[in-house]
Amino acid sequence: MRLVVRAAEITGADELIDISGAHVDSCLYHGEASLDFVDRLVEGRARVSVPTTLNVGGVDLLHPELYRGDPRVDVRSRLLMDRYRALGARPTFTCAPYQVADTRPSLGEQVAWGESNAIAFCNSVLGARTNRYGDFIDVAAAIVGRVPYAGLHRTDERRARIVLRLADGVPAALRDSDVLFPLLGIVVGRRAGSTVAAIEGLPPGQSEDRLKALGAAAASSGSVAMFHVVGSTPEAATLVDALQGREPDAVEAVTLAELRAVREELTTAAGDALGAVSLGTPHASTAELARYATLLNGRRISPAVQLLVSTGRDVLAGATEHARELETAGATLLTDTCSYIAPILRPTHGAVMTDSAKWAYYAPGNVGASVIFASTEECIESAVAGRVVQDEATWR
């Protein structure tokens, strides 16, 4: 309670409000302080007071043989994940708790979520309300069941302050391609920072998976906790709705040249040598698993390439047929953690290809990977061919 009250003082809140759920990011091992904190809670017989899901940990508990790191870190990571279960949290171990149907908050619902992509998705795509709750305020809020009434918990703080419009020079094929959304997310993060932005110029009714990719990238390159996509997100049926009837502070164009530049920046490798492909950051949905299987179309992945597909254990349990198809093709399914955080990739002299701007943004620093950013289709074709395969048609 002292932590929650101190957070209220810092954010200028004059009251606390009840929450209906929480998503805790603190179960990822960052050193002994991670364990010290939760041990004190467990020893004090603390329990979460609202339904609470858990973010990724440092190891895949369902596929322990995939871990390639320090055995001591493996042990400590497992212990930390177990400690959070002891608090009564649900062992979802996913960065995409919005894919767990029975804990998914609804429009206007007040929650306390950690994990940057989940926060952006919660506010933007679901229209539920959370601030950015990091370690260890996330679990404190889950135990108390209350948070400061400040920031994005308030309606007035959720209005767009800037408008980002896709310029006329962005080809129609790119506007309606999956590869656009992670790149656009990087632009949004850089332009908006922590400001709420409204995005114009996209066809209405965009899928959750596309919006997920946008939000994950925006939360990586900036501190974005909420965005609006006009015609696609629940508080932005129109631009007027997104702005809550007020004028924006700025209106800026997003050009084809800028999107190209972002794609080039995310690519840190050259040539066509390929060692691995990483899909599913944030964790792949059922629809994405089905799409990967469809794109493979019964083909085998090259033995020279490790194809890692990350997903949540709840999603995996409900997608056994898609999982079987992927594994038959030679893919490796990863749960409970992420391959840009944990030492999962096998040693390789080739690049790692990914369709995730978040993965491309963090992996070079976290796991030392040389990265090629590409579309999902290009990733699958490359995994089958055993070398980098790219197609520029969408960009013309």
Mind listing the pLDDT tens digit for each residue in 203-226?
Answer: 999 999 999 999 999 999 999 999
Nearest by Cα to 231 from 188, 195, 252, 202? 202
For residues 364 and 276, state if they share a domain: yes
What amino acid is encoded at 370 in this protein? Answer: S
For residues 101 and 177, state if they share a domain: no
For residues 284 and 365, state if they share a domain: yes
For residues 100 and 181, state if they share a domain: no
Query: CA-CA distance, 229 to 244, in Å (whole number)?
Result: 14
Query: CA-CA distance, 134 to 265, in Å (whole number)?
Result: 28
Give, as one character, the DSSP assignment of residue 243.
T
CATH of the domain at 9: 3.30.499.10
In this prediction, residue 244 carries a pLDDT of: 98
Q: Where are the beta strands (DSSP E) in 256-337?
A: 274-284, 306-311, 332-334
In this prediction, residue 396 carries a pLDDT of: 87
For residues 344 and 325, state if they share a domain: yes
Q: Note whether 165 and 253 are within 8 A (CB).
A: yes
Q: Which of 245, 264, 283 is the last residue of a domain?
A: 264
In the structure encoding, which two tokens stand for residue 277, read together?
């492909």
Quote the number of domains for the chain.
Answer: 3
Whether residue 32 has pLDDT greater than 90? yes
For residues 256 and 191, state if they share a domain: yes
pTM of this structure = 0.97
User: 84 is in which domain, residue-wise?
Assistant: 2-154
For residues 138 and 165, state if they share a domain: no
What confidence tens digit (pLDDT) does each residue in 118-134 have?
A: 999 999 999 999 999 99
In this prediction, residue 348 carries a pLDDT of: 84
Q: Which of 121, 154, 187 is the last residue of a domain?
A: 154
Query: CA-CA distance, 131 to 123, in Å (whole number)?
Result: 9
In this prediction, residue 143 carries a pLDDT of: 98
272-292: average pLDDT? 98
Query: CA-CA distance, 315 to 289, in Å (whole number)?
Result: 9
Whether residue 164 has pLDDT greater than 90? yes
